[in-house]
């Protein structure tokens, strides 16, 4: 049974792996046996050090997904068979005040870059005739509207939709495409919410688990979707939210 959860011999690229959820996923993949390349607009030295000090294999590359085509050449002849699309940004403002600049910035990183990076990954897999795994990081706001985050909500709805579309096209070609939808997780993106006493209290009252999640809560689900144990899982959006959507 243990082999179902092994990633020995696999090579993964994790975007936005310098901190938070991306960092935890990179460490989790390495613990399962994968060689991990950590991509971010800032150096992922801390993530790489955590992995290598534990005996794993990792390296860091600088990629700024503010350019939606930045991932286009990452996969050629590099031997990747796992891609985790975690890189993402958020902008907050009332819908009546939201700027075109903030709209475009979020959509470029969260949706456009995700699609074209995944396209490049799949093209390489298909050219080599090997199987692969894609895990996208969606959100509770793939299902709900939220407030004051119009472009983030739109982008994460798009991530869920693209996950299903790509699964439909590629499942029979040996590429599993799935997503994890984190709930309220203690990361940089949620710092403003946690700092607001009223919002923080309202959020905690809604979560059946009674706590904010941590990045490691997401890592386990993402690693599972990369292992042989999830071989027949295609087009799923796995909620890891402490029960939020069940309430």
Active site residues: 152
**Residue spans of beta strands (DSSP E) within the chain:** 11-15, 35-40, 57-62, 82-85, 132-137, 175-182, 237-240
Assess contact for 118 and 69: CB atoms under 8 A. no
Residue length of the chain? 247
Residue with tokens 């709900």: 144
Q: Residue 129, SS3?
A: coil
Assess contact for 59 and 80: CB atoms under 8 A. no
Q: How far is CA 72 from CA 64, 69, 91, 148, in A?
A: 12, 5, 25, 32
CB burial string 82-109: b at 16+ within 10 A, e below: bbbbbbbbbbbeeeeebeeebbebbbbb
Assess contact for 81 and 37: CB atoms under 8 A. no
**DSSP letter (8 states) at residue 38:** E
Q: CA 16, 181, 156, 236: dihedral to nearest 10 degrees?
A: 110
How many CA atoms does the CB half-sphere of 117 hold within 13 Å? Answer: 32
């Amino acid at each position: 049974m243990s082999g179902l959860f092994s990633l020995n011999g696999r090579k993964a690229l994790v975007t936005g792996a310098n901190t938070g959820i991306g960092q935890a996923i990179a460490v989790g993949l390495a613990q399962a046996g994968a060689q991990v390349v950590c991509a971010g607009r800032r150096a992922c030295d801390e993530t790489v050090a955590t992995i290598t000090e534990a005996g794993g294999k990792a390296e860091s590359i600088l990629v700024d997904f503010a350019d939606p085509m930045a991932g286009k050449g990452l996969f050629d002849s590099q031997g990747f068979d796992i891609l985790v699309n975690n890189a993402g940004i958020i902008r907050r403002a009332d819908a009546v005040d939201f700027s075109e600049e903030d709209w475009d910035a979020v959509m470029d990183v969260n949706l456009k870059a995700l699609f074209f990076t995944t396209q490049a990954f799949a093209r390489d897999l298909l050219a080599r005739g090997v199987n692969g795994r894609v895990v996208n990081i969606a959100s509770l706001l793939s299902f709900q509207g939220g407030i004051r985050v119009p472009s983030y909500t739109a982008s994460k709805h798009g991530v869920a939709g693209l996950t299903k579309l790509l699964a439909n096209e590629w499942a029979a070609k040996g590429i599993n495409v799935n997503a994890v939808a984190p709930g309220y997780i203690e990361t940089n993106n949620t710092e403003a919410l946690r700092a607001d006493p009223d919002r923080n209290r309202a959020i905690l009252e809604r979560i059946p688990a009674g706590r904010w999640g941590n990045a490691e809560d997401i890592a386990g689900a993402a690693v599972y979707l990369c292992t042989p144990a999830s071989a027949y899982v295609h087009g799923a959006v796995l909620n890891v939210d402490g029960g939020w959507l069940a309430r």
